[in-house]
Structure 1
Amino acid sequence: MNVFDRSINLDALLKFSQISHSTQVHLKNVYSSLAMCMFMAAAGSYVHVVTRLFQGGIVSLLGSLGMMFWLAMTPHSSETEKKRLAILAGFAFLTGVGLGPAMDFVIAINPSIIVTAFLGTSIIFLCFTLSALYAKRRSYLFLGGTLMSGLSIMFLLSVVNMFFGSVMLFKAHMYLGLVIMCGFVLFDTQLIIEKAENGDKDYIWHCVDLFLDFVTIFRKLMVILAMNEKDKKKEKK
Structure 2
Amino acid sequence: MEAFFEGQAGSWSYDSLKNFRQISTSVQKHLRLVYLTLCSALVASAAGVYLHILFNIGGILTMLGCFAGITFVMNTPPSENRKRLGYLMATAVLEGASIGPLFELILDFDPRILVTGFVGTSLAFACFSGAAIVSKRREFLYLGGLLSAGFSVLFWMRFASFIFGSSASMFNFELYLGLLIFLGYIVFDTQEIIEKAHHGDLDYVKHALTLFTDFIAVLVRILVIMLKNSAEKKREENKRKKRS
Root-mean-square deviation (CA, aligned residues, Å) is 1.5
Matched, 1:24 2:28: yes
1:162-208: per-residue Cα shift (whole Å, max 9, x none)?
Answer: 32321111111111111111100000000000110011110100101
Shift in Å, 1:81? 1.9
Partner of 1:3: none
Partner of 1:47: 51
Q: Give unmatched runs, 5+ long, in structure 2.
A: 1-13, 239-244
- Cα distance in 1 for residues equivalent to 2:154 and 2:105: 22
Partner of 2:132: 132
- Cα distance in 1 for residues equivalent to 2:139 and 2:157: 29
- Cα distance in 2 for residues equivalent to 1:168 and 1:105: 22
Partner of 1:76: 78
Check conservation: 2:16, 2:134, Cα contact below 8 A.
Answer: no
- Cα distance in 2 for residues equivalent to 1:182 and 1:58: 26
Partner of 1:58: 60
Shift in Å, 1:12? 7.2
Partner of 2:176: 175
- Cα distance in 2 for residues equivalent to 1:145 and 1:108: 40
- Cα distance in 2 for residues equivalent to 1:116 and 1:159: 31
Check conservation: 1:113, 1:222, Cα contact below 8 A.
Answer: yes
Shift in Å, 1:111? 1.9
1:98-155: per-residue Cα shift (whole Å, max 9, x none)?
Answer: 1112212323332211111100000000000110001010000000000011111111
Counterpart secondary structure, 2:78: coil
Q: Percent identity?
A: 41
Evaluate the alpha carbon distance shift between residue 215 and residue 207 of structure 1 in structure 2; reply closer, same or farther with a 3 A threshold: same
Partner of 2:69: 67
Matched, 1:144 2:148: no
Partner of 1:207: 208
The structure with more helix, counted as a fraction of residues: 2
Counterpart secondary structure, 1:168: helix
Check conservation: 2:132, 2:191, Cα contact below 8 A.
Answer: yes
Q: Give unmatched runs, 5+ long, in structure 1.
A: 1-9
Shift in Å, 1:16? 0.7
TM superposition score normalised by structure 1:
0.90
Partner of 2:115: 115
- Cα distance in 2 for residues equivalent to 1:70 and 1:135: 33
1:68-112: per-residue Cα shift (whole Å, max 9, x none)?
Answer: 1111111002xx121111111111111111111221232333221
- Cα distance in 2 for residues equivalent to 1:146 and 1:132: 16
- Cα distance in 1 for residues equivalent to 2:201 and 2:166: 44
Partner of 1:159: 159
Point out 4+ residue stretches in structure 1 off by more than 4 angstroms.
10-13
